[in-house]
Amino acid sequence: MKRTEWITSLFCAAMMAVPGMSWSASATRSVFGTLADGSKVDAVTLSNSHGVSARVMALGASLQSLNAPDRHGKSADIILGYADVGSYIDQPQYFGATVGRYANRIAKGRFTIDAHAYSTPTNDVTNSLHGGTKGFDKVLWKVTGVKQDAKQASVTLQYNSADGEMGYPGNVVVTATYTLDESDRLSIDYGATTDKPTLVNLSNHTYWNLGGEGSGSVMDDRLTIPADSYLPVDAGSIPTGAFTDVTGTPFDFRKPKAIGHDVRRNDPQLRNGHGYDHNWVISRKVSATPRIVAHVEDLASGRVLTLTSSQPGLQFYSGNFLNGTTAGPAGRLYRQGDAFVLEPQLFPDTPNHPDFGSAVLRPGQTYRNLMVYQLSISH
């Protein structure tokens, strides 16, 4: 242990021993594993006094585990992941990862900024997905800050993306701050600045199973998405450009509905996405204040997840491509429909759809995407 870490640990122990002083939230630093080049993958575990703990690792600025109690007080890891760093490298599936520079898809990997044409590698058949072949999920971030007090604990990670990386212009400094508080809120606050006009659209790709990772299907979970319209996609999962009313479609989640209620309906859009893999229109632009974009309840465990964000779009993915070839920390195989993903973000392929707004970040501007996951229990 380094001298500074030893002093910090001694100080924290002393503070907890002081009568009348509460030190409930905590942040504990460790090493999750080692990459092939010898680089250490740092990890920080954030914990609160209610039995909630979140481990964040520097590879991909990823949420690696999230433990939370059910209505009977039994704790379980409620997100999908791997037990070792090697599996994240050998079998990448975006588990818990920060995705960017551009979350979701860009058609043919091509876009234009100020009349200049750019291209990024295609890794989703003919499209670029989550930043290309080596997006932010596959790089090692640096832990730049760890904080804790009686009410919350946090970790900040940073990545400097060079001009031209994956074809994107501009040197971009990206930060991700994870915070767990004593109200059982886990927040992820993304920020970015640039020295040239570029695209930035960051999100988090955590796979959720509120019954516990490896526990089976999430199709009975009741989902609410407060959106009147969604973005239909073509056979390559690129938005057609239309804003389609959800009324009378399998995409209407304005009232709580089991995820699997309509997933097997013979609907062209469900065929295109192999299930749900679409963007819901929360609003037509970034909101000035965060609002609820999704609410999920697992009736069996009683765990409830409420997600807030200021982003205009919400990508909901029903775990369609989990195929039973990978296993989580508990040793159980992940199969189709064993998790769901909720990604607040700008609309997919925005650079090629003027009606979708702009995804351009310019020098002097600061990109931000604050997502808050509120955990609770229904009885």
pLDDT (tens, 9 = 90+) of the chain, 379 residues, equals: 443 443 334 334 333 333 334 458 999 999 999 999 999 999 999 999 999 999 999 999 999 999 999 999 999 999 999 999 999 999 999 999 999 999 999 999 999 999 999 999 999 999 999 999 999 999 999 999 999 999 999 999 999 999 999 999 999 999 999 999 999 999 999 999 999 999 999 999 999 999 999 999 999 999 999 999 999 999 999 999 999 999 999 999 999 999 999 999 999 999 999 999 999 999 999 998 999 999 999 999 999 999 999 999 999 999 999 999 999 999 999 999 999 999 999 999 999 999 999 999 999 999 999 999 999 999 8
Which residue pairs, CB below 8 angstroms and at least 24 apart, start in 184-187? 184/48, 184/50, 184/52, 184/68, 184/374, 184/375, 184/376, 185/372, 185/373, 185/374, 185/375, 186/46, 186/52, 186/54, 186/66, 186/372, 186/373, 186/375, 187/370, 187/371, 187/372, 187/373
User: What's the angle, vertex CA 96, arms to CA 94 and CA 101, rounded to 5?
Assistant: 60
In single-letter form, the type of residue at position 69 comes to P
Query: CA 139: distance to chain centroid?
Result: 16
pLDDT digits (tens, 9 = 90+) for 318-362: 999 999 999 999 999 999 999 999 999 999 999 999 999 999 999
138 and 163 Cβ atoms separated by less than 8 Å: no
Kindly tell me the burial class for residue 247, based on how many C-beta atoms sit within 10 Å of its own C-beta (0-12, 13-18, 19 or more). Answer: exposed
Distance CA 217, CA 335 (A): 8
Check residue 41 and give its pLDDT. 98
Q: 205 an active-site residue?
A: yes
Check residue 341 and give its pLDDT. 98
pTM: 0.93
Check residue 379 and give its pLDDT. 84
277 and 124 Cβ atoms separated by less than 8 Å: no
Check residue 23 and give its pLDDT. 57
Q: Give the active site residue among 205, 213, 295, 297.
A: 205
Domains and CATH numbers, the chain: 24-377 (2.70.98.10)
Distance CA 261, CA 68 (A): 26
Query: CA 58: distance to chain centroid?
Result: 14
pLDDT digits (tens, 9 = 90+) for 247-274: 999 999 999 999 999 999 999 999 999 9
372 and 187 Cβ atoms separated by less than 8 Å: yes
Token pair 């791997």 is found at 82
Check residue 8 and give its pLDDT. 38
Q: Give the active site residue among 165, 213, 297, 343.
A: 343
257 and 291 Cβ atoms separated by less than 8 Å: no
Tokens found for residue 16: 């907890």
